[in-house]
Structure 1
Amino acid sequence: MDTQLSFRRLEVFRLVVDERSVTRAAEVLMVAQPAVSAQLRALESWVGARLFVRRGNRLVLTEAGERTNEWAKNVLASAAQVRRDVGDLASGDTGRVLVASSMAIGTYLLAPILAKVSKQRPKADVTVSISRPEEVVRGVETGEFDFAVLNWDERELSESTQSEILQTVKLSVFATERLVPKGTTLTVAEALALPLVGAPREVVYQRNLVAQLRADGHDEPRFVIRLGHSEAMVRAAIEHDWAVIAPRYAVGAEGPLRPVDIPDFTLEERIVLVYRRDKHFSPLQEAALDAIRSGLDSVCAATDLVSDEGYQE
């Protein structure tokens, strides 16, 4: 049996870990299941220990498998970094930066900021990938992305990654004047009784929102509809005279939706940077990070987005 180690073998192993199934990993790779099983057996032979045990319909890592998994993530992340760094020049005018983000932040905040970076450095390869937060974090862990900027939900990071809070942003209730006339002041209970547009329950924004409301002693409001994109939520609120709880950047400074005056309404969203602890940032990547930090500061200050209390880790 061929017991030589290869990056491909480690990639197949990591995919099986993520999918918890040889069958699903084979479907993702579009290969026959025996081909995936053969890669796992070869890796187990090289390591000298079993990597998985079966529990019901799932594959679970053994202790040896856990240690191999951490090592494989580091090896693949380092290999991905080397491939990217080869073409980078000290000036930062060329090279690549791969940024991952959650949907609203990537769409409304990162896209215009990094578009300016790309315009200033036309030879650079700047990419923003928008996905679900768990996929974003996993991509940073494996080195697929250089770093990520996303809204946070208290998830526990692996030891290989760390986070930095970039901004703490206010969440407000926005409504049309037909629903809430100009000059009206509502209590929190009255505001939560409005016909609210929400996001799906599993979305990080929605989980953060509900968790903060419950922490303040409020029940989860009844949402008239749940939509999977902030733009769709805003459009629905405008067209049907509903309300939405959102950050200003997702609603816009001008338009039919206006913030409702609600004393003691203190919901917020934290925007964080996530990256590997061993990450070496190229000049271009450093320039992109600097642009994001200053761009978020400028946008948030211009639209009164920053929470008055801020946030302390």
Structure 2
Amino acid sequence: MDTRVPLRRLEMFCLVVDEGGVTRAAKRLMVAQPAVSAQVTSLEKTLGAELFVRAGSRLVLTEAGQRVYHWAKEVLAGSVQVQRDVDELAAGTAGSVVVAASMAIGTYLLPPIMTGLRRRRPGAEITVHINEPAMALRSAQLGEVDFAVTSWLDEDLPDALSAEKLWEEPLILCASPDGPPDGDEVRVRDLAMLPFVGVPTTVAFHRLLQSQLHAHGIADLPVMIRLGHAEAIKQAVADNGWVCFAPWYAVTRDVAAGRLRQVRLLDAAFHEGIGLYHRTAKYFSPLQTAALDALREVAASHGS
């Protein structure tokens, strides 16, 4: 096998696999479909193996294609990491950590941890990107970030990713100071009578909450509106006398300030797992290791 393959060709091949076909890959790249097909054909000729077979209207990876796909992912992720390292050295800014996080974790949980790290290391360059968990994991897999911290996903992951469940964060039922319910304690069966502010159904938080509700016999909550950011959700609860479920780290200050009211569930406890994800073959610099240590220190405090 001739392994002298242009990275661009590997990128196109992986995109065809990830997007589920040549047409969608070409649309994503905003190029003509024949250009993508030609790159895949050239890759097959270079490697001397057929990478796809057609199953009806779909392209399916052959056994060789699956092996090449995993190899290509590692090559591309490694090239991104090397470029980042070289850029940092050239700019004289060696000593950086880049993290991807899901919305609430990146907004409320990570900032105090990362700013604490920055205070201890004045020369550090720290960046936190906020995105949906799936996109955060993809960034970690591609080497665009050093690691991702998201809601724990009970799903199969690519072999290139390692996962570590750090801790479980309580999910709190929050209400406005003067809105329903009348008291500060309810049972699970009472949830069906409350006006909820939810998140979009495509968001991972919705799925983890639904699975726990279903385990307690609650099919669906009465949702008044679905909003995509915790600040908007909390504002809607406070302004309209509605309720919501939120991680404790996202509402601590609001409850302390009297803007929101915590309502205790008498017969259930809901949680959000906090997950750490990174490439299995990732090399961590001293600063990146310190960032991981800071997260694990918080995890240890939750377990004590």
Q: TM-score, normalised by structure 2?
A: 0.88
Does residue 261 in structure 1 map to residue 264 in structure 2?
A: yes
Report the Cα distance in structure 1 between the residues aligned to 2:131 and 2:54, rounded to whole angstroms: 30
Partner letter of residue 219 of structure 1?
Answer: A
Q: Which residue of 2 aligns with 1:277?
A: 280
Contact 1:163 1:274 (8 Å CA) reproduced: yes
Do the aligned partners of 1:171 and 1:246 also contact (CA within 8 Å) in 2?
yes
Matches within 5 A, 1:140-155: 140-155=140-155
2-structure distance, mates of 1:16, 1:169:
38
- TM-superposed CA distance for 1:112, in Å, is 3.2
Q: Secondary structure of 1:165's match?
A: strand
- Answering whether residue 224 of structure 2 is matched by residue 221 of structure 1, we say no
1:129 is matched by which residue type in structure 2? H
Structure 1 residue 172, shift from structure 2 partner:
1.6
Judge conservation of contact 1:173–1:191 (CA < 8 Å) in 2: no
Q: How many residues align?
A: 297
Provide structure 2 residue ranges, at least 5 long, that are not aligned to the other structure: none
Larger mean CA deviation between 27-36 and 259-268 belongs to 27-36
- In the alignment, structure 1 segments of 5+ residues that lack a partner are none
Matched, 1:8 2:11: no
- 1:142 is matched by which residue type in structure 2? L
Q: Determine the structure 1 residue equivalent to 2:104.
A: 104
SS at match of 2:210: helix
Instruction: From the superposition, tell whether residues 218 and 183 of structure 1 become closer, same or farther in structure 2 (CA, over 3 Å).
Output: closer
1:31 aligns with 2:31: yes
Shift of 1:129: 1.6
The structure-2 alpha-carbon separation of the partners of 1:54 and 1:112, relative to structure 1 and needing over 3 Å to count, comes to farther
Percent identity (aligned): 49
Q: Give the equivalent residue in structure 2 for 1:82.
A: 82
The letter of the residue matching 1:27 is: K
CA distance in 1, matches of 2:85, 2:8: 20
Distance 1:12 1:121, change over 3 A: farther
SS in 2 for 1:73: helix
- Larger helix fraction of residues: 2
Higher mean C-alpha displacement, 233-242 vs 253-262: 253-262
TM-score (structure 1 length as normaliser) = 0.86
Contact (CA 8 Å) 1:174, 1:246: kept in 2 or not?
yes
Secondary structure of the equivalent of 1:60? Answer: strand
Q: Which residue of 1 aligns with 2:17?
A: 17
Are 2:280 and 1:287 aligned?
Answer: no
1:183 deviation in Å?
Answer: 4.8
User: CA–CA distance in 1 between the matches of 2:288 and 2:102?
Assistant: 19
